Structure 1
Amino acid sequence: MRKLLVTAVLLSAAPAAHSLPLIDIYAGARAWNPEISGDVATKHQNDISLDRTLGFDKARENVLYVGIEHAVPVLPNVRLSHAKVSDSARRNLNTAINFDGHVFTQGSQVRSKIDLEMTDATLYYSPLNNWLKLDLGLTIRQFKAEFDILSASEHAYRKVNETLPMLHVGARAELPFTGFYAGGAFNGVAYSGSRLTDYTVNVGWTSDFLLGVELGYSQLDVKLDDVSKVDADFSAKGPYLALGLRF
C-alpha cells in the first residue's frame, strides 16, 4: 500500500516536474529480503551468532527514495532515502549465552528481534554525465540498530543510534538496448575500529512513460566496536527488485 501511495503521489506531480527546466526528479521503492549472518555481543562478553545460535534467516526490508538532479554547477544533487530491515526468530538454545548481563541458559526458548533503520541524505556531483554517469559525494546517514532477546525469565535489549558521514560513489552506463542500463553504488565509512558499508549492483530498464524497473544485488556490512556497549560484525545481503519513476 505504501508503494502504491508513493507512486500515485509522484504521478500526480509529473506535470509540475516537467515544467521545471533543467531539473530531473526521480523516486522509487525497493523490496529486499536479505539473509542476515554474523555475530553480536555486549562489552566483555562472548559473541552470539545471529544465524546459527539465534536463528535469524531472511529479513524484510523496504526502501523509499527520492532525488533531484539539476544543471547548476556549484550546487550538489540531492537524494533522500529511508530503509528499514527487520527480522525475528524463535529458537531453543543449544548453548548458554550472555547478552548485556542477562544469562539465557542452554535449552531455554528465546525470541529474538533485530531492527535496522537507515535514513540517508546524499549530496553528490556528477563529473561524468553522458552514456556513462559517475556520481561522487557524501552521504549523511542516521543509523539505528536494535537487538532484543527475550525468554521466560530474562529480557535483554540494546540500541545503537549513530549519525555518520559516508563516502558515496555511484555509476551508471547506458546499454546498447533502448532504455536498458547497468550500474551500482557504494557508501562507506570506517572510524575507531567500527565500519559501515553498503553496495548495490544492478541492471534496469526505463520506459518512455516515466516508469522503470530494476533488478539488483545489495549488501550491507556492519562492524561495531564498543558502540553503545555493543560489539557486532554482521551482514545483510541478497537480491532486490525496485520500481521507479523519473521526470
Structure 2
Amino acid sequence: MRKLLLAVGGSLILVTPLSQADVVGLGASVSYWDSDLSGKAATNNDVVDVENDLNLDSDSNANASLYLEHPVPVLPNVRLSYTLVEQSGRGEVGLVGFDGVTGDVQSDLDLEQLDLTLYYEVLDNWVNLDLGLTARDLAGDLTVQEVNGLATSETSVDAVIPMAYLSARFDLPFTGVSVGAEGNFISFDGDSLHDFNAYGQYEIALVQFRAGYRQMAIDYEDGDDRLDIEIGGPFVSAGVAF
C-alpha cells in the first residue's frame, strides 16, 4: 500500500495545483442509499454466503459528507464522508455450519467507514475534475448466532486504508443540470476495495439534488477473518453549497 500511496501522491504533485477555487467554498449533503448485499464472509477457514445462507437484508444506512475548498495554492481541499450500513436477517447454515454455528441462525452485519479525502481541483469550469487521496477508516462486524442455541460466531475487519480518489462532473450550460461520477479505489497484495457512484444533479440557488447508483466492493482479510462482499443500489441525496 505504501508504494501505491507514494505513486498516487507523486502523480498529484505533478498535476497540482492547476486550478484553485476563487473563494472559500463549503458544502454538505445527506443521502439515502437503497442497497443490496451479496458475497461471502470467512473465519477460521469456514465460509458463508451472506445473501443465500444468512438472508441479510438492509435495515438502515446513513450517508453524509462535508467538504471545504479554498483558494490557497498547494494546500489540498478537504472532504469528510461517513457511511454506515446495517443489515440483518434470519437464515440457515445446515449441519455443516459456520464457525461452530449450525442450523437456523440470526445474523447482523454492521459496516462503518469514515473517509478523510485530500484533493486538488485539476479542472474547474464546465468540466470539473478532482484528484486526491483518501484515508478510509473501515470497520466491519458480522455476528452469526444460533436461533435455538448458544453458539455465536463473529467475523471482524478493522483497518485504515489509503485509497486513490477521482471525481468528474460535466455541467450542462444554463440548465443547473450536470452529470458526474466519483470513486475511491485500491488493490494491493490480494486485498481490494472500490467505491464508485454515478449520478445526475440538479442545482437551484444553494441547494443540490442528486440521484444515481452507488456500488461498493470490499475484499479484505484481517487475520483469520475475511469479508468479500458487494453492496450496490440506487441513491438520492440533498445538499447545500456555499
TM-score (norm 2): 0.86
Q: Is the 8 A contact 1:53 1:94 kept in 2?
A: no
Given candidates 95, 119, 129, the residue that maps to 1:124 is: 119
Equivalent positions of 1:108-187 (< 5 A) are 108-151=103-146, 152-187=149-184
CA distance in 2, matches of 1:129, 1:204: 17
Q: What amino acid does structure 2 have at the position aligned with 1:32? A: W
Q: Tell me: CA distance 1:215–1:177, structure 2 relative to 1, closer, same or farther (3 Å).
A: farther
Q: Tell me: CA distance 1:180–1:94, structure 2 relative to 1, closer, same or farther (3 Å).
A: same
CA distance in 1, matches of 2:35, 2:130: 26
Aligned to 2:8: none
Aligned to 1:219: 215
Q: Is the 8 A contact 2:39 2:51 kept in 1?
A: yes
Per-residue deviation at 1:59? 4.9
Q: What amino acid does structure 2 have at the position aligned with 1:187? A: N
SS in 2 for 1:133: strand
Aligned to 2:30: 29
Q: Is the 8 A contact 1:43 1:231 kept in 2?
A: no
Equivalent positions of 1:82-93 (< 5 A) are 82-93=82-93
CA distance in 1, matches of 2:114, 2:178: 26
SS in 2 for 1:58: strand
Aligned to 2:12: none
Q: Deviations over 1:148-179 (max 9, x none)?
A: 00112201113211001100000011024521
SS in 2 for 1:98: coil
CA distance in 2, matches of 1:219, 1:76: 26
Q: Is the 8 A contact 1:219 1:235 kept in 2?
A: yes
**Long gaps (5+) in structure 1:** 1-20
Aligned to 1:189: 186
1:73 correspondence with 2:80: no
Per-residue deviation at 1:129? 0.6
1:239 correspondence with 2:234: yes
Q: Is the 8 A contact 1:34 1:60 kept in 2?
A: no
Per-residue deviation at 1:186? 1.2
CA distance in 1, matches of 2:137, 2:116: 9
SS in 2 for 1:104: coil
Aligned to 1:9: none
Aligned to 2:201: 204
RMSD of aligned Cα (Å): 1.5
1:38 correspondence with 2:34: no
Aligned to 1:7: none
Number of paired residues? 219
SS in 2 for 1:52: coil
Bigger mean CA deviation after superposition, 147-156 or 175-184: 175-184
Aligned to 2:54: 54
Aligned to 2:16: none
Q: What amino acid does structure 2 have at the position aligned with 1:79? A: R
CA distance in 1, matches of 2:119, 2:138: 20
Q: Is the 8 A contact 2:87 2:110 kept in 1?
A: yes
Per-residue deviation at 1:147? 0.8
Q: Deviations over 1:162-221 (max 9, x none)?
A: 00110000001102452111111110112221111110000011112x111100100010
Q: What amino acid does structure 2 have at the position aligned with 1:192? A: D
TM-score (norm 1): 0.85
CA distance in 1, matches of 2:97, 2:39: 15
Q: What amino acid does structure 2 have at the position aligned with 1:69? A: E
CA distance in 2, matches of 1:137, 1:77: 9
Q: What amino acid does structure 2 have at the position aligned with 1:29? A: V
